[in-house]
């Protein structure tokens, strides 16, 4: 994504939860290979109320300090203010990302079904890809096409970007992986990658213009964004690992709950840095 897709951010007085977000969440597909008996992800309520005045001011101030100095404490405070003041708290921030957690749950379920060939639909989907001689990139594109909503909003584009990037990153880490036959460890690693990219995409979209407008050299701005992505990825990975063992063989609805908790926990950690 990069900061090229950042915006001036939603202003004060706007609803904490954009009215169109439910449409984005409902557009996330389940994938044709997921067993029919697996309950889907029910609609999730978003936060209520309007954003506070100057909601991102402190987050942007601290982010600029981080960009200029590389001070990790300033980065932590930027993310803490982003959650607490900008998003209405960790719970509201997680709820705002409910399309992301639903997409993660659907991605997990589709890849699990593909690996275990647990339904006729899953077997047919995998066989079609294998028989067509699909490359790894072709498989990534097929997975994204199965699940990601096709619209052009920032949230929908972010979901597609994060899903493709997470799958590609997993292959970079383990080049010999077969995406159609992943083990549970690899799928959980993918969940950490996907959620971390989505959280960072959201932060960059809302306050990332501080990176674009900074007076540092472009190479430094890129380095700072990479450092921020790594910082967020580390916290998300810790949260996901802690939750992995809480539910055996989770359904999509249970996976969505777990990922909501992981995102909320991550933002709570950031708020603890204030």
The first and second tokens of residue 246, run together, are 């809480």
In a domain, 2, yes or no: no
Which residues neighbour 246 within 8 Å (Cβ) at sequence distance 6 or greater? 258
The first and second tokens of residue 208, run together, are 């990332």
CA dihedral (214, 216, 217, 219) positive or negative:
negative
Q: Would you tell me how many other CB atoms lie within 10 Å of the CB of residue 96?
A: 21
Q: In the Cβ-directed half-sphere of 238, how many Cα atoms lie within 13 Å? A: 13
Question: Per the structure, how many domains does the chain have?
Answer: 1
- For Cα atoms 55, 59, 64, give the angle at the middle one, nearest 5 degrees: 135
In a domain, 134, yes or no: yes
In a domain, 93, yes or no: yes
The first and second tokens of residue 103, run together, are 């997409």
The confidence score (pLDDT) of residue 36 equals: 52
Contact 60, 271 (CB under 8 A): no
- For Cα atoms 145, 148, 154, give the angle at the middle one, nearest 5 degrees: 130
Which residues neighbour 219 within 8 Å (Cβ) at sequence distance 6 or greater? none
The confidence score (pLDDT) of residue 2 equals: 45
Contact 228, 205 (CB under 8 A): no
In a domain, 166, yes or no: yes
In a domain, 189, yes or no: yes
- What single string gives the DSSP state of each residue in 65-79? HHHHH--HHHHHHHH
Domain that holds residue 182: 55-271
Chain centroid to Cα 56, Å, comes to 20
Token pair 């990219």 is found at 197
The confidence score (pLDDT) of residue 183 equals: 95
The confidence score (pLDDT) of residue 45 equals: 72
In a domain, 153, yes or no: yes
**In Å, what is the CA distance from 268 to each residue of 26, 66, 187, 221, 250?**
27, 20, 25, 26, 24
The model's pTM is 0.90
The confidence score (pLDDT) of residue 7 equals: 52
pLDDT tens, per residue, the chain with 274 residues: 343 345 555 555 677 777 777 778 877 876 666 655 566 777 777 677 777 788 999 999 999 999 999 999 999 999 999 999 999 999 999 999 999 999 999 999 999 999 998 888 889 999 999 999 999 999 999 999 999 877 888 888 999 999 999 999 999 999 999 999 999 999 999 999 999 999 999 999 999 887 777 788 989 989 999 999 999 999 999 999 999 877 777 888 999 999 999 999 999 999 999 9
53-65 per-residue burial string, b: 16 or more CB within 10 A, e: under 16: eebbebbbebbbb
CA distance 53 to 65: 22
Contact 255, 39 (CB under 8 A): no
Q: At what angle do helices 184-207 and 98-116 cross, to 10 degrees?
A: 160
In a domain, 28, yes or no: no
The confidence score (pLDDT) of residue 81 equals: 97
In a domain, 208, yes or no: yes
């Amino acid at each position: 994504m990069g900061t090229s897709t950042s915006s001036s951010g939603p202003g004060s007085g706007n609803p904490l939860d954009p009215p169109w977000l439910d449409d984005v969440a409902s557009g996330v597909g389940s994938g044709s290979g997921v067993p029919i008996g697996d309950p889907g992800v029910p609609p999730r309520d978003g936060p209520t109320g309007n954003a506070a005045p100057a909601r991102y001011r402190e987050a942007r101030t601290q982010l600029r300090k981080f960009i200029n100095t590389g001070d990790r404490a300033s980065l932590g405070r930027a993310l803490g203010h982003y959650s607490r003041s900008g998003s209405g708290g960790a719970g509201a921030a997680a709820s705002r990302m409910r399309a992301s957690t639903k997409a993660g749950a659907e991605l997990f379920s589709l890849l699990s079904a593909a690996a275990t060939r647990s339904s006729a639909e899953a077997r047919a989907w995998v066989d079609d890809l294998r028989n067509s001689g699909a490359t790894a990139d072709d498989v990534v594109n097929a997975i994204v096409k199965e699940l990601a909503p096709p619209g052009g909003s920032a949230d929908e584009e972010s979901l597609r970007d994060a899903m493709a990037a997470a799958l590609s990153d997993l292959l970079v880490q383990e080049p010999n992986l077969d995406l159609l036959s992943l083990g549970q460890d690899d799928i959980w690693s993918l969940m950490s990658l996907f959620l971390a990219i989505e959280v960072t995409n959201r932060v960059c979209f809302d306050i990332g213009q501080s990176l674009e407008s900074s007076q540092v050299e472009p190479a430094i701005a890129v380095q700072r964004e990479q450092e921020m992505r790594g910082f967020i990825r580390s916290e998300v990975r810790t949260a996901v690992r802690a939750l992995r063992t809480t539910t055996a063989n989770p359904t999509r609805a249970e996976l969505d709950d777990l990922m909501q908790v992981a995102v909320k926990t991550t933002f709570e950690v950031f708020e603890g840095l204030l």
